[in-house]
Structure 1
Amino acid sequence: MDIKDNNKVKSFLDTTISKVKNKDMHLEIREELLNHIEDKFYFYISLGLDENSALEKSLLEMGSSEDIGEELNLVHKKKLDVFLMALVISLSVACLTILFSISKISTDAFNLKSFYNSIFAYSLGFLVLYITYRFLNIKFLYKYSNAIYYISLFCLFLNLFNYNLYLSIVPKPMITILLIIPLLISINGILIEKPSATFRLIIPLAFILNLNSLSGLIIYLVCIFVLVFKRGSKLNFLGFSFSIFIFGFYVLFKNNYLIYRLTSLLSFSNPESSGYYIYSLTKDVLSNSNLIGQATNIDLSSIPLINSELIFTYIIGRFGYIPFAILISLITILLVKVFKYIRSIKNSYGKSIVLTAFTMLSCNFALTLLCNLGFSPPLNTISPFLSSSKVSIFSNMFLIGLILNIYSNRFITDISFNNIDKKSLNFSIKL
């Protein structure tokens, strides 16, 4: 007797699940309850009861389906991580305070009107975060990984010919970083389905290299190396690393401009290099700054703050090293919190997505910090949550919303992803 097809069992499971509002957990709950019923059923069969009596006794022992459903609804209710949200809000308020300070000293690059635009951008950013957290179905992202991958590649391809998909309001390096997000999300699903498909990771490099976005290239490379290392075997990882090395060497050998750009960036501390002005400026600000309060003998309006790439340099010069250390600590705590989420997530796809989001946020933070402290050339990177760039604000809020979404459904197992029905996937609001 296959009890999962029994009408009484189906009725019990349907009634129980109907009480659980978190639909993402329905399949897991059904499987778990069915396993409990089967265990009890076969136990009573072993005691000598007939099938009907064993089933009746098993369902009776399970208890009221409505009561169980109410209890499971409380257990699996989507809960927002208040601590992480408090960190995001604190960093956003700190950023707006800093941007207001910048608007008082800057006339062209960032003025009071720009500050009001930033307030509006952060408001929309939190809306993006909420929609992503509350309504995005990550099973949709998983199921359509291939489609998302090819759409992202097509957008990168269009960008090679200066087809600005964003009405000419977004700098090209920012477009690259924006497109890398869906690209990496799709790659997570592709690698889970087929871990050996590492060649699909190399194809986007041809487009990213031709877009002259070194920051996008670094972030993409770090993320895919982490993914291949976590998902594949050591032999697969070594083969992939060797392929990237050969591909990179070939591209550099064929492109003299890329060699020139690379050597110029690496010699950023040389007075004759193109990046020396930024390097010299950051060193002057750092050497004249105080523990707290504004730096002496420094004209803060001379710091190029377009899109807030040198936001940390400005913070140190305007507010001092202690406020800078506090902000760095808040961002570090946020990243550590996100990293800790990874262990508690039960499904491979969610775990992989959160790892990718963590890697992207960490790379942006580290590269921006190194540039602001004079340890690396400017790479058009922007620290998470400390920016006036709309692309940066929206992308960071989307990543945090995605992380919170996955963490709130952390008990979903791989069973859900192995039994996805495309027709049931949508973005409709769950009432």
Structure 2
Amino acid sequence: MRQMEENMVVRQFLDRVCKQVRTRQMHPEIREELLGHIEDRTELLMLEGLPEEFAIQEAVKQMGDPGDIGKSLHLAHRPQLDWKLLAMLALFLIIGLVGMLSVYYGDERYSVSLVERKLFYFGIGVLFLIGFYFLDYRKLKKYAAPVFFFIVILMAVSLVYGQLHNMRTAYINIGHIGVNIITFSLIPLLLALAGMKPASQWGRWETAWNILYRGVLPVVLYSISSSIIYTYIYVIGFLVLTWRTSNSMKQFVMIAALSLTVLLSFLFTQTDHLLFRWREFMNPSANEMWYMGNNADAIQAAGWFGQGFGQAAPKIPYVLYDNVFPYLIYCFGWLFGVVVGVLILLFLVRLWNISTVHKDPYAKHIAALLIVVFGFRLLWPLLMGLGILPKVTLDPPFFSYSGMNQILDMAAVGLLLSIYRRKNMIPSEVGEAAPLKAA
């Protein structure tokens, strides 16, 4: 404790200020900042000839009413809700629900259980979003390493023992629900990476181990599952985090080179599949390339305002999953597609803003990795539906009919809301120093 703070008048002033600020973790920083102002004013008054005790009392008096200062600081450090992000999420979910209802009314093959299941997962997702919003995201950091290990083991188990409807897949059955562990694993793995020991703190042997454990092993598991796009996303997320946490360009280049070598080795084993996708992409009108061609025909027939709600999908495959965007454009038109594209870009820009306004490096890393995940999963299906990118198996979050993945995606948004909620509640010593302004 500073000697100045032992003064009764100063201590009472600081106590009355902090009494108004509910964010207790900010109290030490507030006291330190205000104490510095009082000391500076006291020194000036003593230079003018006032005795020390009278100078302290006058300096405290000049600070202003402690109640008003405390209320002002409380407003500056109170929890905040990111209404813009929440509004965009709500629009995404509404669009996804309307699209699913349109499929239900337009195709008699789908039953009412389609709507019921969508609403069920939507309700569970809302609960997870609220739960993660009120959760202090910093508490997750200590579980990062165990979560990463558990997810890797779960991926390996699913590749060996996974099945769905008596068929060998990457699904693991949880009761009556089948969970695709490969698609489910992406967000937990990358968020766990964000909380683990950064590359700047790795030693020589530790660097080698972490490259193999964090970089190579997940890529191998994704490769065995033949999930090309999830392999891409994980590698890019891993490299983005390494870039942000490495202590030198040399270290980053070494880590990136090995990771990309493993990725290229995997792609070499998928040459035939990649060539087929490329031919399909380059010649979507060919008879054997029905997937891209049907999407193009549907979008071309949409017009500016679409064919209307409840239209049967014109040979568009997987309208509830990978091709939800071509179907939505077919029903509601090119103008609607432009609006959705702009909303997606605004959503990603909002995530970027969250990563820049926070002082906590852990929060910044989480937001950066979720930009990678949501950026790929939203933009690729949209551009794929428009024929700009090749076909991959990747259903967009929030828009598509999905179960556990929808819950996980909404939990991830809840985590982003938790980060934004605490952007003014984190002491500056956690991240970069930030000056505290008193009213």
TM-score bracket for this pair, using the shorter chain length: 0.7 to 0.9
Q: 2:121: which partner in 1?
A: 121
Give the match's secondary structure for 1:378. coil
| 1:184 is aligned to 2:185 | no
Q: TM-score, normalised by structure 1?
A: 0.81
CA distance in 2, matches of 1:401, 1:165: 26
Give the deviation of 1:64 after TM superposition: 6.0
* Matched residue, 1:87: 88
**CA shift digits 1:338-359 (9 cap, x unpaired):** 2222221122111121111122
Change (3 A) 1:205 1:404: same
SS in structure 2 opposite 1:359? helix
Q: Which runs of 5+ in 1 are unaligned?
A: 419-431
Between 1:152-161 and 1:56-65, the stretch displaced more is 56-65
Residue 423 of structure 1 corresponds to none
Q: For 1:385-404, list aligned pairs within 5 A.
A: 385-404=398-417
Question: Which residue pairs with 2:154 in the alignment?
Answer: 155
- For 1:349, the equivalent position in structure 2 comes to 362
Between the aligned partners of 2:52 and 2:261, the Cα distance in structure 1 is 65
Please list, as runs of the form range in 1=range in 2, the aligned pairs for 1:30-41 lying within 5 A after superposition: 30-38=28-36, 40-41=38-39
- Structure 1 equivalent of residue 168 of structure 2: none
The match for 1:146 is 145
Whole-angstrom CA distance in 2 between matches of 1:275 and 1:401: 43
Displacement of 1:170 in angstroms is 3.8
Tell me, which stretches of 5 or more residues in structure 2 are unaligned? 163-171, 433-439
Inter-partner Cα distance in structure 2 for 1:10 and 1:120:
54
Please state how far the C-alpha of 1:140 moved relative to its aligned partner.
1.0
Query: Equivalents in 2 of 1:206, 1:229: separation in Å?
Result: 21
Q: Equivalent residues in 2 for 1:1-400 (5 A)?
A: 2-3=2-3, 6=6, 16-21=17-22, 23=23, 26-38=24-36, 40-41=38-39, 44=42, 47=46, 67-108=68-109, 110-133=110-133, 135-163=134-162, 164=172, 166-167=174-175, 169-170=177-178, 172=180, 175-192=181-198, 194=200, 196=202, 197=207, 199=211, 200-202=213-215, 203-232=217-246, 233-251=248-266, 256=269, 258-269=270-281, 276-294=289-307, 300=313, 302-305=315-318, 307-400=320-413
Q: CA shift at 1:327, angstroms?
A: 1.7
- Cα displacement (A) at 1:400: 1.7
Percent of pairs identical after alignment?
22
Q: In 2, Cα distance between the equivalents of 1:51 and 1:192?
A: 49
Once the 2 structures are TM-superposed, how far is the Cα of residue 67 of structure 1 from its aligned partner?
Answer: 4.8
The Cα offsets for residues 112-137 of structure 1, whole Å up to 9 and x where unpaired, read as 3212321232233222222211x211
Question: For residues 181 and 31 of structure 1, do their structure 2 counterparts lie closer, same or farther at Cα, with a shift above 3 Å needed?
Answer: same
Farther off after superposition, 66-75 or 282-291: 66-75
Tell me if structure 2 keeps the 8 A contact 1:37–1:58: no
Counterpart Cα distance in 2 of 1:264 and 1:189: 39
RMSD: 3.4
For 2:155 and 2:431, locate their aligned partners in 1 and report how far apart those are by CA, in whole Å.
29
CA shift at 1:226, angstroms? 1.9
- 8 Å CA contact 1:290–1:320 kept in 2: the answer is yes
In the superposition, the TM-score normalised over structure 2's length comes to 0.79
Deviation of 1:311 after TM superposition, in Å, equals 0.5
For 1:183 and 1:342, how far apart are their aligned partners in 2? 19
SS of the residue 1:302 aligns to? coil
Matched positions, count: 406
C-alpha contact (below 8 Å) 1:385/1:396 kept by paired residues = yes
One-letter amino acid of the structure 2 residue matched with residue 265 of structure 1: R
1:61-110 per-residue CA deviation (whole Å, 9 max, x = no partner) reads 656655544332222221212222222212222221111110012233x4
Q: Deviation at 1:184?
A: 1.0
Q: CA deviation at 1:10?
A: 7.3
d(CA) in 2 for partners of 1:2, 1:187: 40
Change in 2 beyond 3 A, CA 1:53/1:352: farther
Counterpart Cα distance in 2 of 1:34 and 1:279:
63
Asked if 1 retains the 8 angstrom alpha-carbon contact of 2:324 and 2:400, the reply is yes
